[in-house]
Structure formats: C-alpha cells, structure tokens
Amino acid sequence: MKKQFYLGLIVFMSVSGFSIPGFAQPVFNKVLGSFTGVSNSQSAWVDFDNDNDLDLIYTGLTKTYVPSTFVYENDNGVFTLRATTLPAINWGSFAVGDYDKDGDSDILITGSTSFSTDDRISAIFRNEGGFVFTEQYSFQGLAEASADWLDIDNDEDLDFIITGFSENNFNSYTTLVYENTGSGFVKLTGTGLPDCSS
C-alpha cells in the first residue's frame, strides 16, 4: 500500500494493557533505530535471512527527491541497514515470494528509478543469502506501478502480474502477466485483463 507521507519508521511492541472489559489496551514502545523517511512508499516485513525474525524492506522518495530502497536486518530487535544491489525506486512496488522454491524470499520490483527522468525498471532479484540479491530476469519497466506474485495456473509455482505506465503519459496504462515455466518467465497474451496503473 502506498503512503503519501514521510515515513519516520516506528516499530511497535505491545507491553501492557488496561481497562476495556475483555480487551487488553496495548502500550507501544518505539524501537531504537535510524530510519530514513520517504514518501510514495511501500514497506514490508520479511525474514530475508531465515533466522526466524522479521527484517524490513521499504522503498520511496526521500525529502531530497532521491528514489530509494532500504533493507534492514533485524538482529534480536536491533535494525541494521544492509547494502544491497536492489534498484532504488519511487512510484513503484515490490512483492516478495520464493519463485525458485529454494526456501528463501526473492523480490519482484517495479517502478521509476529517477525523479527527473523517464527511467523505470521491472525485474526479479534472487535471494542468494546474506542479504545478497542478484538480478535474474528483467522485464518492461513501468511507473506508477504495482506488482504481485500469484499461482495463476495452479501448478504450485509463482507467476506474477505487474501494472503501471509504460511511457511518460497517461495513455500508456499497461497490465502484464508472466507465467513461471520453471526455467524462466513467459509473457501471457489474451488474458482479458484491463490495462491499468496502481
């Protein structure tokens, strides 16, 4: 979900409660950490390193108008920014899923890579472990984009859909669906889905 405000990231932990009969009133403490605020953003909790706690990824535009993608490792409640090769985006989207069935979370990402030019990207990055992500597949870049994994053909692997503007105008609505063949991705035609953006 996109949020049109600067994200001063707050991680909440329920501590105690009172009063309302049958319900505990949660009290939240802010987890210490230094997080860069962004707009036009998306965020998600993901256990990227399979250590049974949730790491954090978010994207968006900084207050100096720089597209950004941030990944923080959670180590027992302490969040550390990790350097990755993931593209910096804004007016975009990402989706997390294990497309190659190797037991970790890969990333489908799409969106604008510049605030001032028409550059855009759509790509799949494979999780190699240790917060290393390598680009495996590249597709038509979109802006004002959305992305999601789904098993469209019920064959127990992840296909995906992306939507957005393919050009720098409001008449270039695009919806693209790709089937996971096990050895790559094939664009499907004739799906009957309307072209749209996020």
What's the whole-model pTM score? 0.85
pLDDT in tens, 89-107: 999 999 999 999 999 999 9
Beta bridge partners of 71: 57, 82
Residue 21 pLDDT: 65
User: In the predicted model, what is the mean pLDDT of residues 82-86?
Assistant: 97
> CA 93 → CA 112, 178, 183, distances in Å?
10, 16, 24
108 class by beta-carbon count within 10 Å (0-12 exposed, 13-18 middle, 19+ buried): buried
* Mean pLDDT of all residues belonging to the chain: 88
Asked whether the predicted pLDDT for residue 15 surpasses 60, the reply is no
pLDDT in tens, 156-182: 999 999 999 998 776 789 999 999 999
| DSSP states along 142-196 | EEEEEEEEE-TTSSSS-EEEEEEESSSSTT-EEEEEEEE-SSSEEE-----PPP-
Q: Assign 25 a pLDDT band (cuts: 50, 70, 90).
A: confident
Percentage helix, strand, coil, to 5, in the chain?
Answer: 0, 50, 50
23 class by beta-carbon count within 10 Å (0-12 exposed, 13-18 middle, 19+ buried): exposed
For residues 70 and 34, which has the higher predicted lDDT (pLDDT)? 70
CA-nearest of 179, 176, 180 to 139 is: 176
Tokens 């993608």 identify what position? Answer: 69
Return the sign of the alpha-carbon dihedral for residues 81, 113, 91, 196. negative
CB-based contacts of 162, cutoff 8 Å, min separation 6:
93, 108, 110, 122, 139, 142, 145, 146, 147, 175, 176
